[in-house]
Amino acid sequence: MQAAGRTAPHAPEPLPRPADDARQHDGTMMLKAARIAAWLLGLAIIVLSMVPTELLPKTGIRLNFEHFGVFAAAGFVFGLAYARRYGLIAICLVIFGGAIETIQLFVPGRQGRLSDFAADALGVLYGAVAARTIARGD
Protein backbone atom coordinates (compact mmCIF):
# COMPACT_ATOMS: atom_id res chain seq x y z
CA MET A 1 0.00 0.00 0.00
CA GLN A 2 1.04 3.54 -0.61
CA ALA A 3 1.42 6.08 2.10
CA ALA A 4 -1.06 8.95 2.20
CA GLY A 5 -0.07 11.92 0.07
CA ARG A 6 2.08 9.87 -2.27
CA THR A 7 1.08 9.27 -5.85
CA ALA A 8 1.85 6.21 -7.86
CA PRO A 9 4.93 6.63 -9.98
CA HIS A 10 4.20 7.21 -13.65
CA ALA A 11 5.93 5.24 -16.33
CA PRO A 12 8.44 7.43 -18.13
CA GLU A 13 7.44 8.48 -21.62
CA PRO A 14 9.41 6.76 -24.33
CA LEU A 15 12.19 8.80 -25.83
CA PRO A 16 11.64 9.90 -29.42
CA ARG A 17 13.48 7.86 -31.99
CA PRO A 18 16.09 9.66 -34.09
CA ALA A 19 14.11 8.98 -37.29
CA ASP A 20 11.06 10.69 -35.75
CA ASP A 21 13.17 13.72 -34.83
CA ALA A 22 14.60 13.93 -38.35
CA ARG A 23 11.13 13.74 -39.95
CA GLN A 24 9.77 16.38 -37.60
CA HIS A 25 12.79 18.60 -38.25
CA ASP A 26 12.38 18.16 -42.02
CA GLY A 27 8.69 19.07 -41.74
CA THR A 28 9.48 22.14 -39.66
CA MET A 29 12.14 23.28 -42.11
CA MET A 30 9.80 22.74 -45.08
CA LEU A 31 7.09 24.75 -43.34
CA LYS A 32 9.51 27.60 -42.63
CA ALA A 33 10.74 27.53 -46.23
CA ALA A 34 7.17 27.60 -47.54
CA ARG A 35 6.31 30.56 -45.31
CA ILE A 36 9.39 32.48 -46.39
CA ALA A 37 8.65 31.73 -50.05
CA ALA A 38 5.02 32.79 -49.62
CA TRP A 39 5.87 36.17 -48.10
CA LEU A 40 8.66 36.79 -50.61
CA LEU A 41 6.19 36.09 -53.42
CA GLY A 42 3.71 38.50 -51.83
CA LEU A 43 6.42 41.15 -51.64
CA ALA A 44 7.39 40.53 -55.28
CA ILE A 45 3.74 40.97 -56.32
CA ILE A 46 3.61 44.31 -54.52
CA VAL A 47 6.87 45.56 -56.02
CA LEU A 48 6.07 44.43 -59.56
CA SER A 49 2.58 45.90 -59.32
CA MET A 50 3.88 49.35 -58.41
CA VAL A 51 6.67 49.85 -60.94
CA PRO A 52 6.03 51.48 -64.32
CA THR A 53 4.94 49.05 -67.03
CA GLU A 54 8.09 49.73 -69.05
CA LEU A 55 10.23 48.22 -66.28
CA LEU A 56 8.29 44.94 -66.08
CA PRO A 57 9.81 41.82 -67.59
CA LYS A 58 8.20 40.82 -70.89
CA THR A 59 6.98 37.22 -70.87
CA GLY A 60 5.02 37.11 -74.10
CA ILE A 61 2.07 35.66 -72.18
CA ARG A 62 -1.31 37.37 -72.20
CA LEU A 63 -1.71 39.67 -69.20
CA ASN A 64 -4.67 37.80 -67.69
CA PHE A 65 -2.72 34.54 -67.83
CA GLU A 66 0.20 36.24 -66.07
CA HIS A 67 -2.15 37.45 -63.34
CA PHE A 68 -3.74 34.02 -63.03
CA GLY A 69 -0.36 32.27 -62.84
CA VAL A 70 1.19 34.58 -60.29
CA PHE A 71 -1.85 34.50 -58.00
CA ALA A 72 -2.23 30.73 -58.44
CA ALA A 73 1.37 30.42 -57.25
CA ALA A 74 0.58 32.69 -54.30
CA GLY A 75 -2.53 30.67 -53.40
CA PHE A 76 -0.55 27.45 -53.66
CA VAL A 77 2.47 28.56 -51.63
CA PHE A 78 0.40 30.28 -48.94
CA GLY A 79 -1.83 27.19 -48.88
CA LEU A 80 1.16 24.96 -48.20
CA ALA A 81 2.64 27.41 -45.70
CA TYR A 82 -0.55 27.81 -43.68
CA ALA A 83 -2.26 24.43 -44.11
CA ARG A 84 -5.84 23.93 -42.93
CA ARG A 85 -6.56 27.65 -43.38
CA TYR A 86 -7.35 27.47 -47.10
CA GLY A 87 -10.57 29.50 -46.93
CA LEU A 88 -8.98 32.30 -44.92
CA ILE A 89 -5.95 32.30 -47.21
CA ALA A 90 -8.16 32.52 -50.29
CA ILE A 91 -10.20 35.38 -48.84
CA CYS A 92 -7.11 37.33 -47.78
CA LEU A 93 -5.37 36.85 -51.13
CA VAL A 94 -8.48 37.86 -53.10
CA ILE A 95 -8.66 41.03 -50.97
CA PHE A 96 -4.92 41.51 -51.58
CA GLY A 97 -5.47 41.23 -55.35
CA GLY A 98 -8.30 43.76 -55.15
CA ALA A 99 -6.14 46.12 -53.14
CA ILE A 100 -3.30 45.83 -55.66
CA GLU A 101 -5.65 46.63 -58.56
CA THR A 102 -7.14 49.57 -56.64
CA ILE A 103 -3.74 51.00 -55.73
CA GLN A 104 -2.68 50.76 -59.38
CA LEU A 105 -5.36 53.35 -60.20
CA PHE A 106 -3.14 55.88 -58.42
CA VAL A 107 0.22 54.74 -59.84
CA PRO A 108 1.33 56.68 -62.93
CA GLY A 109 1.49 54.44 -65.97
CA ARG A 110 -0.48 51.61 -64.33
CA GLN A 111 -4.12 50.63 -64.63
CA GLY A 112 -6.24 48.66 -62.22
CA ARG A 113 -8.63 46.48 -64.21
CA LEU A 114 -11.59 44.40 -63.18
CA SER A 115 -10.45 41.68 -65.60
CA ASP A 116 -7.05 41.58 -63.84
CA PHE A 117 -8.80 41.26 -60.49
CA ALA A 118 -10.94 38.40 -61.81
CA ALA A 119 -7.80 36.61 -63.04
CA ASP A 120 -6.15 37.21 -59.65
CA ALA A 121 -9.15 35.81 -57.78
CA LEU A 122 -9.46 32.74 -60.00
CA GLY A 123 -5.73 32.10 -59.69
CA VAL A 124 -5.89 32.31 -55.89
CA LEU A 125 -8.75 29.83 -55.76
CA TYR A 126 -7.00 27.43 -58.12
CA GLY A 127 -3.74 27.61 -56.14
CA ALA A 128 -5.43 27.17 -52.76
CA VAL A 129 -7.42 24.17 -54.01
CA ALA A 130 -4.26 22.64 -55.46
CA ALA A 131 -2.43 23.08 -52.14
CA ARG A 132 -5.33 21.53 -50.25
CA THR A 133 -5.47 18.60 -52.65
CA ILE A 134 -1.75 17.92 -52.34
CA ALA A 135 -1.74 18.34 -48.55
CA ARG A 136 -4.63 15.90 -48.16
CA GLY A 137 -3.20 13.45 -50.65
CA ASP A 138 -6.39 13.37 -52.75
Residue 8 has pLDDT above 80, yes or no: no
Return the minimum-mean-pLDDT range out of 4-8, 112-116, 123-127: 4-8
76 vs 3: CA distance, rounded Å: 60
Residue 22 has pLDDT above 80, yes or no: no
Q: Which residues contact 54 (CB under 8 A, 6 or more apart)?
A: 109
Residue 84 has pLDDT above 90, yes or no: no
84 vs 60: CA distance, rounded Å: 36
Confidence at residue 109, expressed as pLDDT on a 0 to 100 scale = 85
